[in-house]
């Protein structure tokens, strides 16, 4: 018999899981997601989240509270009489009253190999740290941040030049498949949980704008990981001289390269840039107000000479 499910999620990453749970035949009695946010070029249009759009397509009631801390919100949640809540990148703190309301508690799909990279930005942080492996885990939520016991795990290799966007897209369908498997086991009474070890715990704090600027004095592998981890969003960047004034350049793809020099210096006519040790070769970049282009296409317009300093 189908489970009564409350789904809680917000970004694009969460939407395939909502769709998969619905297609598996479970009764999704409500969807909770972040409220519509200002978007558009002028930031004036209120845009619903990807999960809200998917829920409306499926005909599921949508709730967008700013907080779940009030007694009224908690009572409304309890009144849904859910067997389980499925939570994937929702973005709001769940108080104990919410965690305890569903009969089987709340299951969270998290994009890391816990306890490594608990928190808000596990995909970006894994790449930025140079990890060669990550994955998706389904765990039972408790009041600690991503500290609950784990039920299912699926591992994924991180390629040497893989970007945050590519890893996001690789993990997204796996998250959906794993949650459907978890619900099937829960329904059958065979879903077991193993406590997380505390050894190896790391926190994936939210990406801050202040850390998106490239520091060319760092070793080349760290610069490379920083570029690909933040690509395509929010994107790392540097500045170069354009017509006598600095212009911001978003860096989207790179590879490790041979060479050495003053950090930030252009080393050749194929956009190899010196780092603190070693060098990276920029492969895809984006000027402000323009589309993303290959390094070759960028150089046809920018004509950066060997010896030019990026900052």
Whether omega before 115 lies within 30 degrees of 0, making that bond cis, reads yes
Question: How many separate helices (H) and strands (E) can be counted in the chain?
Answer: 8, 16
C-alpha to C-alpha distance for 128 and 299, rounded to whole angstroms: 27
115 is in an annotated binding site: yes
CA separation for the pair 188, 170 (Å, rounded): 28
- The answer to whether 221 is a known ligand-binding residue is no
Q: Where are the alpha helices (DSSP H) in the chain?
A: 15-23, 50-58, 71-78, 96-99, 122-128, 164-188, 220-229, 295-302
Residue 114 in marked binding region: yes
The pair of structure tokens assigned to 41 is 């070029």
- CA distances, 159 to each of 27, 43, 139, 172, 216 (Å): 38, 36, 26, 17, 23
> Which residue, chain included where needed, has tokens 């390269």?
257
Binding-site residues for (6S)-5,6,7,8-tetrahydrofolate, in ranges, read: 112-115
Binding-site residues, in ranges, read: 112-115
């Amino acid at each position: 018999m189908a489970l009564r499910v409350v789904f809680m999620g917000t970004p694009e990453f969460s939407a395939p899981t909502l769709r998969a749970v619905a297609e598996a035949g479970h009764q999704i009695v409500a969807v909770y997601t972040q409220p519509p946010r200002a978007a558009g070029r002028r930031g004036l249009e209120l845009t619903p989240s990807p999960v809200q759009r998917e829920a409306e397509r499926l005909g599921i009631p949508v709730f967008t509270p700013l907080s779940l801390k009030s007694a009224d919100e908690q009572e409304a949640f309890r009144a849904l009489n859910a067997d389980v809540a499925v939570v994937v990148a929702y973005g709001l703190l769940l108080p104990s009253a919410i965690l305890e309301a569903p009969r089987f508690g709340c299951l969270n799909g998290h994009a890391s190999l816990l306890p490594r990279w608990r928190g808000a930005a596990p995909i970006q942080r894994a790449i930025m740290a140079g990890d060669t492996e990550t994955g998706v885990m389904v765990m039972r939520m408790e009041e600690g941040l991503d500290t609950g016991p784990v039920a299912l795990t699926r591992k994924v290799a991180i390629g040497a030049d893989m970007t945050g966007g590519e890893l996001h897209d690789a993990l997204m369908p796996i998250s959906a498949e794993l949650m459907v498997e978890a619900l099937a086991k829960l329904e059958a009474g065979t879903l077991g949980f193993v406590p997380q070890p505390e050894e190896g715990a790391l926190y994936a704090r939210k990406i801050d704008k202040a850390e998106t600027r490239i520091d060319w004095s760092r070793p080349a592998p760290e610069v490379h990981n920083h570029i690909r981890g933040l690509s395509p969003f929010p994107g790392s960047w540097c500045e170069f001289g354009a017509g006598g004034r600095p212009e911001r350049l978003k860096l989207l793809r790179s590879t490790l390269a041979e060479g050495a020099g003053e950090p930030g210096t252009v080393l050749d006519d194929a956009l190899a840039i010196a780092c603190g040790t070693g060098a990276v070769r920029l492969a895809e970049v984006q000027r402000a107000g323009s589309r993303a282009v290959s390094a070759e296409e960028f150089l046809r317009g920018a004509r950066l000479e060997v010896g030019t300093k990026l900052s």
